[in-house]
Structure 1
């Protein structure tokens, strides 16, 4: 069986020659690198499902299982829900466990396995209400248990009211899932609203119990759900509404940073942890009222608003008599070692956080400017060049759009790589390395930081090339030069991005005690979901 991890292995062919960049810059001026630009593995198979196409998408999977196992629709649905709609798991369990055991674990009993298929007589006793009923007023499930239709109906109504999508038999400790056709038929006669809700539950089970389908997290909601192929849970997708997100955690796309690190980063940036670090590093607590005090100059005697005097060096309460060098009757040689260690750690952590956060934010801000301001300028430049197509040797301007797309994607990779570095090379308790692998970390860190530095340098160069403005009639030599430089630099930044992803996947993540996974690198950004047609 294909495991969820199968899709996380990606290949990215890149030239490790140190002279690669120089060779690329010497390429022919018209080379757009379509043939030799390194590309990742195939895009993920992803579809956008709307309310209108939901039933068709669900029926597609149901029909596949019904045809495979020759079972009714409600049995196919029970199997799929039990296996979280993973058809590959059904294949695997069928092979390893056998048909009967697989059905039994999913609460399915097939008709051919029932000893008594018919009711014992024309008049039977309901074992819930203990009244007598004719055969026509009684329903029997595939497990062989039978009860009057009134009791079944009330059981179904109570189950729907409690939100159950799979209604099990009323028999004592019976795990069998009731035939959904019987449920719908009995509910429709007495509780039509409950019948409609049950129909909706069956549809929604495809979304809520399916590891391969998730709602688009857009706000306001676009009404679509995204379905990915088997084993492609760790991928980044773009809904037709334009929102790109991580399919695994439903957060904004964040590779090459794993979901766990990204979640911690968002909590850290939006929370109060760094505020606490700043307070510890830059303030002293008044020994009387315990409010934090900031010292902005002067000597080491500080007076709180409450009137308490204290020594800034150690935070201890003192009298007022003092000179510039000392405080009467007070000595700092009794300073508590643990207190100093705590303050030093807070200062170091704050400095380290600031280092990585600044770079994360700088590249994030640059991405926004290059998207919001450079993007429209690129579009105008394309129009100018396209208008001159018949009057010059300039054949097309698509290289501008491609280079701009490469710039935006590599800028995001660069920004997020600092989040990964903050946790990977820090001492956070939630990101631990195997003790036996710790000697390998500095080597892998050096490799990662070299790739990161090269990417940063070339991203800035590409941004500078794309920022070049043309006059009403651009000079053809200038355009050709910019085209060559832009396409060469686009190839270089894509290669560097691929190297960073490969370094993280192959060299760094294996060192962690708790496994983490990143989405595959896509030079064009998240995989675009196609509309699933009903």
Structure 2
């Protein structure tokens, strides 16, 4: 039986994080700086949002010694960003910050002096006893009935922050007073007010967004960010849905948000139409309108302009024809088309078809590798980890890591065609008046990275499929893995069947180790090529755009996974 050392490949070292690095590959200090540490993020259940919100409110209340509704107004004004609040507090001071947020501190503690027994409401002009009148921090007093009607009206108009109903008064109404008055006559409105306050923690917070999964999982994702605007990152909720945190669309790097938004709108309106047109129509060579053939004859006439054409090749012909031939026309021989003038409409359609087919093909491959190949790789890894061979136990995690790299890089490859469709289109307005990019160094460099990535992704996919999904008729791997390292005891002579089985088990062990090393090398290669392509996009191509755009940093393990809050 071979020892463990016989099967270890020392062409890589283990770094401090336990990740394999090639000795002859690109060193860390030479790699493009397009990779950043995964962003910390947490998934908050809807029931726990109130506690998370209250934690931030309590911090601000203690910091400024103010009431809860004042703290909420301050947090909403600064988009619930505690780093910005503490920074502005040091630079501006408390008074300027509160004034900028529209916070008015309490001016009086009562609605009337000790001698007054009745109070006149400034809205209905009726007199009320002090207990039927409520006063806000700004000192304005109105009767409870008028306040209640005003609160209900404000909620119906969708306001989350209710301000004093005195003319041009910026003071925020005390949440406790609002709740107290609404609960008396409008309990449903009181619950709606609480929901509005809870939603403000997500809707007005640059660091928190609802998971956009459909159906909605009910979780909100919070990221650790110190920016004033929504951070540019991709996250994965506990429900498994991955999305761009800035635009809330599904994860789309290395395609910028603006390009991805256009692509989704275009695909939603055109994808199915383009598929049907390509499969069932020919373009009239004269008026460029799509033509559908209704009869069996391959001589077709456009009903719009009367142009005759051959259905087989789409070329213009004369009108004379029979059921078997078209006079003066033959297309049975293949000839290269030289200097053919293609109309703009045809060019755009064919160009869209080119990029869409490749985007869709890689997207479908990703789904197959996730849903079919994934369980097969996971099952193989489990069997390898449970067998007696220490060598296979050590190799098992690398196959699982290679599969994860395959899924991530396959998605990057798919979306790179969306980026290329818009980036290299001279007629689209995404680049404004910048010069065309045909045959430029940047375009060639990008397409070279894309081509290399595509080739290695296909090789890794085929390798994992061949390793984890053996063909029918092959001896089951689990039977051979069970016999690995289980040779007969020395006190008896093994049978021929036992020796054959042990030999097959050793051969399988060697094959799995070779597959593991090849998968590891391919995984490192596609990750490096992804980083190169990201750097090319960020440093060379995006600066050419008139509209400023950016992409998320490459993460070899995909979007940052949210942790339970």
- Give how far 1:76 is off: 0.7
Correspondence 1:371-386 to 2 at 5 A: 371-386=370-385
Change (3 A) 1:93 1:30: closer
- Do structure 1's residue 419 and structure 2's residue 414 form an aligned pair? no
**Which of 428, 453, 456 is 2:454 aligned to?**
456
1:226 maps to: 221
Q: Distance in 1 between matches of 2:427 and 2:43?
A: 38
Q: 1:195 aligns with which of 177, 190, 193?
A: 190
Match of 2:541 in 1: 508
Q: Trace 1:513-528 onto structure 2 (pairs within 5 A).
A: 513-528=546-561
Closer, same or farther: CA 240–293 of 1 in aligned 2, 3 Å: closer
**d(CA) in 2 for partners of 1:262 and 1:286?**
32
1:402 to 2:435 alignment: no
Give the whole-Å Cα distance in 2 for the aligned partners of 1:248 and 1:507: 23
> 1:492 matched to which residue of 2?
525
1:61 equivalenced with 2:62 (yes/no): no
Equivalence for 1:11:
none
Alignment CA distance shift 1:120-1:441 (3 Å): farther
Give the aligned partner of residue 36 of structure 2: 41
- Structure 1 gap ranges (5+): 1-25, 327-339
Aligned-partner SS, 2:102? coil
Q: CA deviation at 1:178?
A: 0.5
Which of 230, 238, 259 is the aligned partner of 1:261? 259
SS in 2 for 1:397: helix
Secondary structure of the 2:343 match is helix
Structure 1, 156-165 or 484-493: larger mean CA deviation: 156-165
Indicate conservation of the 8 Å contact 1:58/1:203, yes or no.
yes
Structure 2 residue 360 is the aligned partner of structure 1 residue 356: no
Please, which runs of 5 or more residues in structure 2 have no aligned partner?
Answer: 1-7, 22-27, 29-33, 330-339, 471-476, 481-504
CA contact 2:422–2:428 (8 Å) conserved in 1: no
Match of 1:250 among 244, 248, 251: 248
Structure 2 residue 361 is matched with structure 1 residue 368: no
Residue aligning to 1:345: 344
- Is 1:432 paired with 2:435? no
| Distance in 2 separating the partners of 1:391 and 1:519 | 39
Query: Aligned with 1:100: secondary structure?
Result: helix
Mean Cα displacement is larger for which, 462-471 or 59-68? 462-471
Secondary structure of 2:530's counterpart equals helix
Deviates more, 1:469-478 or 1:447-456: 469-478
Write the distance in 2 (CA, Å) between the matches of 1:442 and 1:296: 47
CA distance in structure 2 between the partners assigned to 1:450 and 1:124 by the alignment: 80
Q: 2:542 touches 2:549 (CA, 8 Å); kept in 1? A: yes
Does residue 1:207 correspond to 2:202, yes or no? yes
Q: Is the 8 A contact 1:302 1:312 kept in 2?
A: yes
Name the counterpart of 2:94: 99
Normalising to structure 1: TM-score of the pair? 0.80
Q: Using the alignment, how far apart are the partners of 2:151 and 2:302 within structure 1? A: 73
Once the two structures are superposed, what CA deviation does each residue of 1:242-262 show, in whole Å capped at 9, x if it has no partner? 111112222221111112211
Quote how far apart the aligned CAs of 1:160 are.
2.4
The 1:54–1:299 alpha-carbon spacing in structure 2 relative to 1, beyond 3 Å, is: closer
Residue 241 of structure 1 and its aligned partner are, at CA, apart by 1.0
1:239 shift after superposition:
0.8
Q: CA offsets per residue over residues 48-104 of structure 1, 9 Å max, x none?
A: 111221111111221222223222111010112223323334345445655334323
- Contact kept in structure 1, 2:140 and 2:166, CA below 8 Å: yes
Q: Select 1:28's aligned residue among 3, 7, 10.
A: 10
Q: Using the alignment, how far apart are the partners of 2:35 and 2:80 within structure 1?
A: 28
Alpha-carbon distance in 1 for matches of 2:177, 2:272: 59
Greater Cα offset, 479-488 or 84-93: 84-93
TM-score, length-scaled by structure 2: 0.76
Note closer, same or farther for the CA distance 1:165–1:393 as it changes in structure 2 (3 Å cut): closer
Change in 2 beyond 3 A, CA 1:359/1:185:
same
- 2:13 and 2:20 in contact (8 A); partners too: no
Q: Which residue number corresponds to residue 126 of structure 2? A: 131
Contact 1:301/1:309, CA 8 A, preserved across alignment: no
Secondary structure of 1:490's counterpart equals helix
1:395-448 CA-to-partner distances (Å, cap 9, x unmatched) read: 45111111111111111111111111111111253411563x767992221221
2:188 and 2:547 map into 1 onto residues whose CA distance is 48
Q: 1:159 aligns with which of 154, 179, 183?
A: 154
Matches of 2:373 and 2:232, distance apart in 1: 31
1:336-372: CA deviations, max 9, x gaps? Answer: xxxx98x711121122222222221222222222222
Paired residue secondary structure (2:428): coil
In structure 2, do the counterparts of structure 1 residues 387 and 90 end up closer, same or farther at CA, with 3 Å as the change threshold? Answer: closer
Q: Which has the higher contact order (CA 8 A, sep 6+)?
A: 1
SS at match of 2:214: coil
Looking at structure 2, the residues matched to 391 and 43 of structure 1 have their Cα atoms a distance apart, in angstroms, of: 31
Aligned residue for 1:271, secondary structure, equals helix
Per the alignment, residue 490 of structure 2 pairs with: none
What's the CA shift string for 1:252-287, capped at 9, x where partnerless?
211111122112222222313894796997137899
Contact 1:168–1:178 (Cα < 8 Å) also in 2: yes
For residues 233 and 430 of structure 1, what CA distance do their matches in structure 2 show? 26
Does the residue aligned with 1:174 lie in a helix, a strand or coil? coil
